[in-house]
Amino acid sequence: MPMHGAMPNSFDPTRVDALEPRARELVTRRRRLLGPGYKLFYEQPIEVVRGEGVHLFDADGNAYLDAYNNVPCVGHCHPHVVEAITRQAGTLNSNTRYLAEPLLDYAERLLATHHDGLGSIMLACSGSEATDLALRIARHASGAKGVVVTANAYHGVTAAAAEVSPSLGANEPLGVHVRTVLPPGPGETDPVAAGDAFALRVEEAIADLHRHGTATAAVLMDTLLSSDGLVPDPPGFLRPVVDAAHAAGALFIADEVQAGFGRTGAAMWGYQRHGIEPDLVTMGKPMGNGVPISGVAARPELLERFGNEVRYFNTFGANSIAVAAATAVLDVIERDDLVAQVGDVGEHLRSGLAGLAREHPALRNVRGAGLYVAADLVDPATGAPDAQATSRVVNGLRERRVLISAAGAAASALKVRPPLPFGHDHADQLLAALADVLADAC
């Protein structure tokens, strides 16, 4: 089992000599120029040179079915997004110190997809910046420092985001004002019981912060609990957690970097699937189909106070090209009715995976919402997480030109999270390849 905090599905750099000459040369140059922090996927890293829809192409022209990348949410190089980027890049790329109607149109349209209490938004470049900004807003509003997150949470890589991201491992210690709570376990079916038990753990964490002299500014959670191994069910379990946060005078921040923009197939936002109304919502990855843009939607009174009292200017945040790309993403999600399609294809995919799990006792606990799907690989005899089998499956799929990855604290979960236009036929291709790999690998 990999060290807690190690990256699942990463290329092992000590095996560089086993690569083909071209890959070996690129890996070696990369190591020298970018240092060891730049981890690659797969035992045989892929040199990607082109993308189109749900496919990536390598330097030899081979097509890979992309069942992993959520950033190109409407598909790689979607023509409507490419056209928007191209038109805007040739017209103007400026910042928010000047008036620009497209930014206001976008802000209005994006906020209309949120619950009515979220009336204002600030824009930034990355999900990390969104987390960092949301924490600044919450701490400024409350005067408190404490933050409660889940046990294997990931919220970003700025210093402030990293210290609320236990999944980064022991070398990035949690902040002294941070407490973690275990998420609901698998197999929970009653949202009230699961939620109440979860909320109780949150209350205990808040009480522990209080005992250490720290009031709690925010409870911060990914509404799919992605890095905790994906815990989507039962929908509604976050409701008592929000109540617990509010009862303690803390804000609830929904991290929608993973669950947002229709990913769950149930709604535009993961929190809507839980029937909750967060005070702050962070958005990132899929927002601009790969052009860096992120945001924090907020109750207006929070931005009122922060904006009046704190100077915050994000030079690239909401630049003209990013706004054009993000607007085009909303166009495609709406015109192609992607949320409904994602729900439909996701169900088909999970049903196929459940069928495979019935045949393969090593494959268990198929779960997900829409097109974020996970399943665990275990030792069938003991039920223990099996990171090695997971690695064999992920790399076996890669050899069959289907791209997924691994996840979870034990690196034993298959992680399937394709671009949203992934269709039934793509799901069937993935399932067939997986059946083939499982027959070999487990």
* Interface positions, 153-212, toward its own copies (CB under 8 A): 157-160, 162, 168-169, 171-172
The distance of closest approach from Cβ of residue 107 to its own copies in the complex, given in angstroms and rounded to an integer, is 4
363-369 and 372-377 strand pairing: antiparallel
* Region from 187-195, 196-204, 302-310, 430-438 binding its own copies, contact rule CB under 8 A: 302-310
| CB closer to its own copies, 67 vs 199 | 67
The distance of closest approach from Cβ of residue 416 to its own copies in the complex, given in angstroms and rounded to an integer, is 16
Question: What is the phi/psi pair of residue 25, to 5°?
Answer: -65, -45
Residues 111-150 that bind its own copies (CB under 8 A): 111, 119-122, 124-129, 132-133, 135-136
151 makes contact with its own copies (CB under 8 A) = no
Long-range CB pairs of 332-340, under 8 A, 24+ apart, other chains included = 332/74, 332/78, 332/80, 332/81, 333/73, 333/74, 333/261, 333/262, 333/268, 333/420, 336/74, 336/421, 338/74, 338/262, 338/420, 338/421, 339/262, 339/265, 339/266, 339/267, 339/268, 339/370, 340/265
Spatial distance between the Cα atoms of 268 and 273, rounded to a whole number of angstroms: 9
The distance of closest approach from Cβ of residue 433 to its own copies in the complex, given in angstroms and rounded to an integer, is 19
Distances (CA, A) of 130 to 34, 146, 255, 326: 25, 18, 9, 16
| CB closer to its own copies, 116 vs 381 | 116
Q: With contact defined as beta carbons under 8 Å apart, do 90 and 81 qualify?
A: no
284 makes contact with its own copies (CB under 8 A) = yes
72 makes contact with its own copies (CB under 8 A) = yes
17 makes contact with its own copies (CB under 8 A) = no
Question: Which of 12, 15, 38, 207 touches its own copies by CB under 8 A?
Answer: 38
Question: Cα 147 to chain center, whole Å?
Answer: 20
Task: Kindly tell me the sign of the dihedral angle through the C-alpha atoms of 419, 424, 429, 434.
Answer: positive
The Cβ of residue 49 has, within 10 Å, a number of other Cβ atoms equal to 11
| CB closer to its own copies, 160 vs 438 | 160
Locate 136 and state its tokens.
């600044």
* 369 strand-pairing partners: 372
Whose CA is closest to 284, among 70, 93, 96? Answer: 70
> What is the arrangement of strands in the sheet containing 372-377, beginning at the earlier edge strand?
363-369, 372-377, 413-416, 405-407
* Region from 104-112, 201-209, 229-237, 428-436 binding its own copies, contact rule CB under 8 A: 104-112
95 makes contact with its own copies (CB under 8 A) = yes
Question: Which of 1, 63, 104, 432 touches its own copies by CB under 8 A?
Answer: 104
| CB closer to its own copies, 235 vs 288 | 288
| CB closer to its own copies, 157 vs 357 | 157
Residues 321-380 that bind its own copies (CB under 8 A): 321-322
Look up tokens 């930014």; give the residue: 103
Question: Which of 43, 54, 65, 69 touches its own copies by CB under 8 A?
Answer: 69
Spatial distance between the Cα atoms of 194 and 187, rounded to a whole number of angstroms: 10
Residues 207-266 that bind its own copies (CB under 8 A): none
Question: Which of 15, 18, 20, 47 touches its own copies by CB under 8 A?
Answer: 47
21 makes contact with its own copies (CB under 8 A) = no
| CB closer to its own copies, 136 vs 364 | 136
Question: Which of 2, 240, 290, 396 touches its own copies by CB under 8 A?
Answer: 290
391 makes contact with its own copies (CB under 8 A) = no
Binding residues for its own copies, total number by CB under 8 A: 102
Burial class of residue 250 in the structure, from the number of CB atoms within 10 Å of its CB (0-12 exposed, 13-18 middle, 19+ buried): buried
Locate 122 and state its tokens.
């600030």
Question: Which of 92, 384, 432, 439 touches its own copies by CB under 8 A?
Answer: 92
